[in-house]
Chains A and B, each alone.
Chain A
């Protein structure tokens, strides 16, 4: 008989710039090694995953990370007293800090996680990327965190227009002059705070790798993808699995050097000389993870098994030339459901 886990998953915002939650849940539902009951964790009442009852068994509101770690812990403690949660998979960059901080306390109340260490999480921050590249001998573009608009007039050596203006967690704009840079600085900092990162613009083709490290330097999974259809927010709406050995070698190097623990996404740029630059390291499973499942590597399943202390064999192969094509779908929802989640914080 298969084990059954109660797994809490956040990132249910399956919108045009989707959170990974719904894809992660689909993967967990297809896991061959266990059955699941899925507890959704939602920040907003209109996150579509809340209403996908064939995927999510029950959803609870959780407080925003800005309201503090204690608030989050109390809420999770309360949810766990009802649901007996075995594992939590947080899927937002902005909530990871809190969950990493809470890792031990969550374990004490029976909730497992499989997250990067705080050191790994901090080191790979966009504003630390140059030091990260130097330390682990990984190729990264020049970048620098800035705190005021005036810093845009004192660009560091090696960074010139066009350049990329990036938010701490999300958003990026390519700008061609100081006026555009100022506008992007103001727009992105208003939304995501400071610092803003200015990064050398690397001409080339964008690729991504999603994978899983076991925390001991071993690659459990790695699937490279080329975005084929990109939304105006730069998100992949379609992509294809590819067979680039260089990308897989780079991923192995990243995992073995950092002893990465947990799911991740590498955002890479291949320049004209076929050299790869790491543009970003997202310390969580990406929204397109279902492609990895579709090509034979169920990353969320492996992640749960690692968290539960099961022996996990590394995936060695995947199907090349398989595509994912995302779509939007309108659900019809009764106002009573919206009322229930809005008023009582659960549905």
Chain B
């Protein structure tokens, strides 16, 4: 299950700070929404359902964009892959 590192948070303005690496990023409002849903340990199916209801987007595009976003979070070491032990 994809899990955001417990000490990484996103602010209302979409500012993400990783206190372990000191890196910070800005994400757009939809990404911030997904980020927070991941923080709440929601599964992809739950996130997909909520977003499909809320936004005019087809499931295929949503899944593609979601996976892109997850890859980016992995690259920036913001998520714990397979709930790896945090450093």
**Residues on A facing B (Cβ under 8 Å):** 205, 207, 225-226, 228, 239-246, 274, 320-321
Contacts and interface: CB of A to CB of B under 8 A. Distances in A.
Nearest to B77: A274
A170 to B, nearest CB: 25
Interface string B8-27: 00000000010111110000
A274 B22 CA distance: 14
Interface string B46-85: 0000000000000000000000000000000100000000
B17 A243 contact: no
A321 B15 CA distance: 13
A119 B23 CA distance: 37
A205 B19 contact: no
Q: Tell me whether chain B's interface is mostly helix, strand or loop, or mixed.
A: loop
A244 B17 contact: no
Contact of A321 (B17, B77, B87): B17
B87 A228 contact: no
B19 A243 contact: yes
A242 B19 contact: yes
B7 interface: yes
Contact of B87 (A207, A239, A240, A274): A274
B22 A246 contact: no
Contacts of B22: 207, 225-226, 228, 239-242
A46 to B, nearest CB: 34
B18 to A, nearest CB: 8
A228 B19 CA distance: 13
A228 B21 CA distance: 11
Contacts of A244: 20-21, 87
Interface of B: 7, 17, 19-23, 77, 87
A76 B81 CA distance: 59
Contacts of A246: 87
Given A244-B21, A274-B77, 19 more contacts: A205-B21, A207-B22, A225-B22, A226-B21, A226-B22, A228-B22, A239-B22, A242-B19, A242-B20, A242-B21, A242-B22, A243-B7, A243-B19, A244-B20, A245-B87, A246-B87, A274-B87, A320-B19, A321-B19
B19 to A, nearest CB: 4
Nearest to A270: B21
Nearest to A241: B22
A225 B20 CA distance: 10
Name, among B7, B17, B21, B23, the residue most crowded by chain A CB atoms within 10 Å (CB to CB). Answer: B21
Nearest to B17: A321
8 contacts: A226-B22, A228-B22, A240-B22, A242-B20, A242-B22, A244-B20, A244-B21, A321-B19
A226 B18 CA distance: 11
A251 to B, nearest CB: 15
B34 to A, nearest CB: 23
Contacts of B7: 243
Contacts of B87: 244-246, 274
A228 B17 CA distance: 13
Nearest to B86: A245
Contacts of A240: 22
Nearest to B18: A242
